[in-house]
Amino acid sequence: MRKNFDGLYGLVRERLECDPTNGHLYLFANARRDRMKILFFDGASLWVCARRMERGRLRWPEAEGGKVQLSREEFALLLGGIDLVQTRQRKWYRRAVREDSK
């Protein structure tokens, strides 16, 4: 968790093959899962937010190819300490967001 703006920006571009300025949140955790950083671009500047947990650890979802896409609800549960593997998603309606409407 020593990476800062440029290091995290490079990870998103090179390893995840994504554009860090697309408005998505990018989460990174250390090996012990007790620290986390969030990288996001607000349209004018790049932000890095850090979290250090005093007790407990994050239960990171399993990743295929190094990246996991979370919904807003899953993100909130992860930050709240809920194990996403042991939860079950019920059928729920959500209107699809079209890329050209942004």
Q: What's the confidence (pLDDT) of residue 93?
A: 78
Separation CA 6–CA 61 (nearest Å):
25
DSSP 24: -
Mean pLDDT of the chain: 84
Q: At residue 92, does pLDDT exceed 80?
A: no
pLDDT digits (tens, 9 = 90+) for 8-41: 999 999 998 999 999 999 999 888 888 989 999 9
Cβ atoms within 10 A of the Cβ of 12, count? 20
Confidence of residue 82 (pLDDT cuts 50, 70, 90): confident
Q: At residue 76, does pLDDT exceed 80?
A: yes
Residue scoring higher pLDDT (68 or 19): 19
DSSP 42: -
